[in-house]
Amino acid sequence: MSKNWLITGASSGLGRGLAERALARGDGVVATLRKPGALDDLLASHPGKLRIVECDVTDLDAMRRTVAQAFDAFGRIDIVVSNAGYGLFGAAEETSDAQIDRQIATNLTGSMQLIRAVVPRLREQGGGRIVQVSSEGGQIAYPGFGAYHASKWGIEGFVEAVAQEVAPFGIDFVIVEPGPTRTNFGTGLDVAAALPCYADTPVGEIRRALDGGYFEFADAAKTVEAMLATIDEPNPPQRLVLGKLAYEHIRDALTRRLASVEAQKAIALSVMEDA
């Protein structure tokens, strides 16, 4: 049976890849993007199955209108993919107020408000699935990406809470956590002006790594296929880790955290009233 999708940030990368694969198998897609014309080729090859809406998720009124249009267009949306976002690089004191505000407004607030907008519709129709595209950066942190990590750690916490709230209504979530992937993430990166004092620090090392192509990249097409296969599962995992670096980094971070918590058991229990 065909499904209907709402995908934000669908002009390129993983969002476009999901739109292409969904359309190729006969699903209906409402795709949002900020750049007009980016999906004209798909629109021409899939008439009646693809609806394109220009929308910036930081414009909350426009985003809510887009959600209403999406559900009205197909009568039902089965899968909502919250994919709009970008990265900001710079040490905490290098980034400007405006850069931080825009990062949080797009990656965190925009995603939260999209979820808030679609939940009533999904509840009224009897259920649905929300796919939140996060990052390995939702569970680990690189120096120089503090604001980006704040947005990703934040949206993962929000999803954890909302998933419990809406499970009785047949609504579930998949948080996708890709590592470095061969998409346009790097070209869309907002880079703060560098301060010389950080040149020989971990921030400087990451800055040079970004310039030199240091990271091992996952294949974007394979990543989309893995996402699609998981989204199609009747009972998917709440978190989907994708890529060698993502797997290794998240596994190592969780292992260290668990060891640290276990080491604190005695002091944790010592503060209880009856201790």
Active site residues: 134, 148, 152
Measured CA angle at 89 (ends 195, 133), to 5 deg: 170
Question: Which amino acid type is present at position 233?
Answer: E
Among left, alpha and beta (phi > 0; psi -120 to 50; other), residue 259 is: alpha
Asked if 32 contacts 54 with a C-beta cutoff of 8 angstroms, the reply is yes
Separation between Cα atoms, residue 211 and residue 203, nearest integer Å:
13
Written as six digits, the tokens of 35 are: 């750049």
For the four alpha carbons of 90, 220, 233 and 41, in that order, the dihedral sign comes to: positive
Residue 272: other Cβ atoms inside 10 A: 7
